[in-house]
Amino acid sequence: MSDPTLYPVSPEWAERALMDKAGYGAARQQAQQGPDAFWAQAATRLDWITAPTVIKNVSFDRADFRIRWFEDGVLNVAWNCIDRHLPTRRDQTAILWEGDEPTDSRAITYGELHGQVCRMANVLKAQGVKKGDRVTLYLPMIPEAAYAMLACARIGAVHSVVFGGFSPDSLAGRIEDCASRIVITADEGLRGGKTIPLKANVDAALERVSGVETVLVIRRTGADVAMVAGRDVAYAEAAAGVSDDCPCEPMNAEDPLFILYTSGSTGKPKGVLHTTGGYLFWASWTHELVFDYRPGEVFWCTADVGWVTGHSYVVYGPLANAGTTLMFEGVPNYPTVSRFWEVVDKHKVEIFYTAPTALRALMREGDEPVKSTSRASLRLLGSVGEPINPEAWRWYHEVVGEGRLPIVDTWWQTETGGILVSPLPGATDLKPGSATLPLPGVELQLVDAEGQVLEGATSGNLVITDSWPGQMRTVYGDDQRFFDTYFSAYPGKYFTGDGCRRDEDGYYWITGRVDDVINVSGHRMGTAEVESALVLHDDVAEAAVVGFPHDIKGQGIYAYVTLNKGVEAHDDLKKALVAHVRKEIGPIAAPDAIHWAPGLPKTRSGKIMRRILRKIAENDLTSLGDTSTLADPGVVDDLVKTRAQH
């Protein structure tokens, strides 16, 4: 459902921005006409030990498939994120850490960051970790998580960060997949006033998987945890015995930097592999461009480092750009639902980047918890992770941003390393709910199921016709799965898995995963569109829509609806919601079934798992699949129980 309103670039933004409309047009053209020259010039933003002379070497064809960027370049990521800033910024805050409790915060300067990362690198070396070894990180959002990532990068080890909310089973699977011999964890995590038994989870995971020789345990809460002799090492003691200086390992641009398993909303998690040069370049370049970022500005991305968003926009992008990055241990609703905005005021945050799922949850609480804070330091808002429904966009813009702040709705994936489609605050007029236009150098197409290229205003499957430096290089240990998943559906093109609409202005509207597109009586519809219409209703907090087999229509529309606090579920409301969707989109989109859902199954990163909702809607309860990455598996049981009534 498109919002007719256009929010033009303000004169102040056009004035101050690094890239204005003309600059954006020119950059797109340059990137198209001479990609090697364009990217070679752009890549000078990094400090290279040996500057690359071969810029791009890519083929998406099966016969000679390869993705290589800057392949003869040599650099080190930790050097780029720390050491090179020291001469001028030793005392600038690199990491602003805000703990779970509002009384708990800390500023870490670049000078301190250097010492801490070197120490951890030396501890890893002392434990026998070498270039190319995989190191699993299972940590809370504490500065040590960033130290550990950068320490690996410093010595050329490959990190695999596993979100601290994952179960022992999920952790074991990820340790096994990349055969790590070392795990870095903490005694406990702390989120929303509750402790998470991280070390105990590691112990449980290691009963299921062999090969781990060392567990480094960082002290967070000070809880008394069991230590296995000969395997477990208290980090503080080990760190006290090593030097706080450690040289950076020269790395080839195509050496692996990290593995990160996708959230698993579409199936078995994939070990997405990113390499050194292309990834760091992309994280840094997009962070500067999309957030119009200048060194030293206070940047807050609320994502956990367990997700790619935390990798690219909590750690690597901001630090490569000599930034001050805020790292938040807690949750949006602890101790109160004003917490985000209080943190903004406390640390004078200038740029704030979060996910629609958090915004929708906060929106439910009304405007007062936002309005009671100042937010005067903010100048830019961002969104990532899901399509942001226009209703949430407008709330973000009007209530959080008081109508004065642009919103960058950034579309990207774990696979893409960083943002690919997004407005630029000084160059792009905004439309609520649209990720707008591709960044320079990103070539999008919409194709139909047969691969036919679709022109003009239309809907189809989103593909990318050429490589960009931040593209993933393979699925760890499974090149075949990499090719099959992304390059076989539409030969010669990268298939995103997402459905998308392009409007008459050439703006892109992600409509959700292609698997989630429903076909009602021959009309293709994105689930996001129907969900947005439902959420627009005053009584609805959240909605998830899936298709189910329907005798007449082919597919019917099945809507799971969570009501706002205090609203009672009843049949008249169902009728009202159906009528409301008819009015908003048209009769074709009217839900055939509405299922009152006290909660929705979500991945740990807050995305709705429609795969499971589809099964429940189809009444196929025997094969719900892998639910281990769900935030709260209990939600599924509740939905199954109430299924009969629908």
Residues that bind ligand ATP in the complex, under the rule CB under 6 A: 262-266, 269, 308, 384-387, 409-411, 413-414, 435, 496-498, 510, 513, 607
In the complex, least distance from residue 487 CB atom to ligand ATP, rounded to whole angstroms: 16
Residue 276 among known ligand-binding residues: no
DSSP assignment of 349-378: -SEEEE-HHHHHHHHTT-SHHHHTS--TT-
In the complex, least distance from residue 225 CB atom to ligand ATP, rounded to whole angstroms: 31
Residue 386 among known ligand-binding residues: yes
Residue ranges of alpha helices (H) inside 425-570 are 479-487, 527-536
In the complex, least distance from residue 385 CB atom to ligand ATP, rounded to whole angstroms: 5
DSSP state, residue 160: E
Q: CA 79, 417, 165 angle in degrees (round to 5)?
A: 95
Please say which residue, 116 or 265, places its beta carbon nearer to ligand ATP: 265
Tokens 């994280």 appear where? Answer: 283
Residues 490, 492, 497, 500, Cα dihedral to 10°:
-80
Please say which residue, 430 or 594, places its beta carbon nearer to ligand ATP: 430
What CA–CA distance (Å, rounded) separates 602 from 609? Answer: 5
DSSP state, residue 602: B
Residue 645 among known ligand-binding residues: no
What CA–CA distance (Å, rounded) separates 538 from 560? Answer: 16
Residue 309 among known ligand-binding residues: yes
In the complex, least distance from residue 421 CB atom to ligand ATP, rounded to whole angstroms: 8
Residue 409 among known ligand-binding residues: yes
Burial zone of 228 (CB within 10 Å; 0-12 exposed, 13-18 middle, 19+ buried): exposed
Residue 119 among known ligand-binding residues: no
Please say which residue, 269 or 469, places its beta carbon nearer to ligand ATP: 269
Burial zone of 585 (CB within 10 Å; 0-12 exposed, 13-18 middle, 19+ buried): middle
Residue 504 among known ligand-binding residues: no
Please say which residue, 148 or 609, places its beta carbon nearer to ligand ATP: 609
Please say which residue, 347 or 604, places its beta carbon nearer to ligand ATP: 604
In the complex, least distance from residue 488 CB atom to ligand ATP, rounded to whole angstroms: 16
Please say which residue, 144 or 516, places its beta carbon nearer to ligand ATP: 516
What CA–CA distance (Å, rounded) separates 283 from 297? Answer: 17
Please say which residue, 338 or 527, places its beta carbon nearer to ligand ATP: 527
453-454/444-447 β-pairing: antiparallel
Residue 193 among known ligand-binding residues: yes
In the complex, least distance from residue 269 CB atom to ligand ATP, rounded to whole angstroms: 6
In the complex, least distance from residue 19 CB atom to ligand ATP, rounded to whole angstroms: 19
What b-and-e string marks burial along 385-399, b requiring 16 or more CB atoms within 10 Å of the CB?
bbbbbbbbbbbbbeb
In the complex, least distance from residue 407 CB atom to ligand ATP, rounded to whole angstroms: 10
What CA–CA distance (Å, rounded) separates 540 from 574? Answer: 11
In the complex, least distance from residue 501 CB atom to ligand ATP, rounded to whole angstroms: 11
Contacts for 420 with CB less than 8 Å, ≥ 6 apart: 411, 412, 438, 439, 442, 464, 468
Residue 473 among known ligand-binding residues: no
Residue 387 among known ligand-binding residues: yes
DSSP state, residue 344: H
What CA–CA distance (Å, rounded) separates 118 from 151? Answer: 6
Please say which residue, 80 or 605, places its beta carbon nearer to ligand ATP: 605
Please say which residue, 263 or 532, places its beta carbon nearer to ligand ATP: 263
Residue 357 among known ligand-binding residues: no
Give binding residues for CoA as ranges.
191-194, 309, 333, 521, 582
Give binding residues as ranges.
191-194, 309, 333, 385-387, 409-414, 498, 513, 521, 524, 535, 537, 540, 582
Give binding residues for Mg(2+) as ranges.
535, 537, 540
